[in-house]
Amino acid sequence: MQRPGKCTTHTVEAETIHDQGTGAMNEDAVRVNGTLFGVFDGATSLNGKTFDSGATGGYLAATTAGDIFSRNDGPLMDLAHRANAAIRRRMLENGVDVTCKENLWSTSAAVGRIEGDRFHWVQSGDSPILAIYEDGSCDLLATGDDHDLETLKLWKETAASRTGSILDELKDQIRKVRSGMNITYGVMNGEAQAMDFLNHGSVSLEGIKHILLFTDGLFIPREDPEAGMDFKTLVSLFLAGGLQAVKHHVRSVEHTDLGCRRYPRFKTHDDMAAIALSFSSTGRRAAA
């Protein structure tokens, strides 16, 4: 005779943030559709062109990828392939020379889907996925390469002697980094090679209390670019007051350094996109 076993079902609550920084438009995107959740961080081409009545390439890359994922009608890796292809298609429709990396629209992505007692995810670029456990500890499920580290280190070393912004003063360095897309680091920009840099996986929800998906605008500002991301402070702030508490802390610190010199970064205030999934579980008896 079979003994009854125990399986667990999870209910989830989602908190989102979508906040514009100091740019002309918010190039981050948030998408939620049923069991699928995603954030996207667009990066405009270096030629500065706009499309569709003033939309930047970064905005179009992020929203195009987000719209494909939000259909939630296939495996996450298939959706990633379709999203990347859609970015390329839209660039070609808008007359973008896709043979030159400086012209390409691009976006990072952190997307997850709840399926039963598991969380499946796919990630590209530098938007992380962070799991917070019931005991308050945390673990990165996915994080991309810190491809801006070299640029931020250079800015930290030389900012005091410069009069302009990092975007003006370090144009050549920024162009050098951008030329490494899908060679030294991955982003979704329509290139077939973008798929080689996708991170993906699956994790049991047992013991997980929260999962955070967010763009780099939510990173805690750091004085030393080599110090690594301060996820401990981020988690403490989140557990105390949710995503709004993290946002308030980041914006407050940024406001003390409008010139981006003490805390090296590209903008006084970056765009933010974040989703916090909070789980509660209920046990039920089922046949083993």
Position 285 pLDDT exceeds 70: no
pLDDT of residue 230 exceeding 50, the answer is: yes
pLDDT digits (tens, 9 = 90+) for 150-162: 999 999 999 888 8
pLDDT for residue 3 is more than 60: no
From CA 204, how far away is CA 117, in angstroms rounded?
6
> In which element (H, E) is residue 139 found?
strand 138-142
Q: Residue 8: is its pLDDT beyond 70? A: no
H or E stretch at 84: helix 76-93
Q: What are the residues facing 287 on neighbouring strands?
A: 4
Other Cβ atoms closer than 10 A to 223: 11
Distance CA 170, CA 158 (A): 10
What percent of the chain stands above pLDDT 90? 83
Which single residue is written with the structure tokens 């948030």? Answer: 30
Run of H or E including 241:
helix 231-255
Nearest-angstrom CA–CA distance, 46 and 55: 14
Average pLDDT over residues 31-49: 94
The model's confidence at residue 287, banded by pLDDT at 50, 70 and 90, is very low
What are the Cα distances from residue 70, in Å, to 33, 38, 142, 147? Answer: 6, 8, 20, 27
How far apart (Å, rounded) are the C-alpha atoms in residues 3 and 1?
6
Q: Is residue 286's pLDDT more than 70?
A: no
Lookup: tokens for 261? 């010199």
The tens digit of pLDDT for each residue in 207-228 reads: 999 999 999 999 999 999 998 8
- The pLDDT value recorded for residue 281 is 73
- How high is the mean pLDDT of the chain? 92
Q: Helix axis angle, 76-93 relative to 57-69, nearest 10°?
A: 140
pLDDT the model gives residue 282: 61
Q: 179-197, pLDDT tens digit by residue? A: 999 999 999 999 999 999 9
Nearest to 273 by CA among 252, 239, 250: 250
**Is the predicted pLDDT of residue 44 greater than 90, yes or no?**
no
Q: Is the pTM value of this prediction over 0.75?
A: yes
Please, is 64 exposed, middle or buried when counting C-beta atoms within 10 Å of its C-beta (0-12, 13-18, 19+)? buried
**Band of residue 2 on the pLDDT scale cut at 50, 70, 90:** very low
Strand partners, 18: 273
Judged by phi (left if over 0) then psi (alpha if -120 to 50, else beta), residue 207 lies in: left
Residue 288: per-residue pLDDT: 37
Mean pLDDT along residues 130-145: 91
Separation of alpha carbons 158 and 194, rounded Å: 33
Q: Which helix (H) or strand (E) holds 178?
A: helix 171-178
Q: Please check the confidence at residue 283 and state whether its pLDDT lies above 70.
A: no
Alpha carbon distance 61, 198 (integer Å): 16
Structure tokens at 32: 């939620």
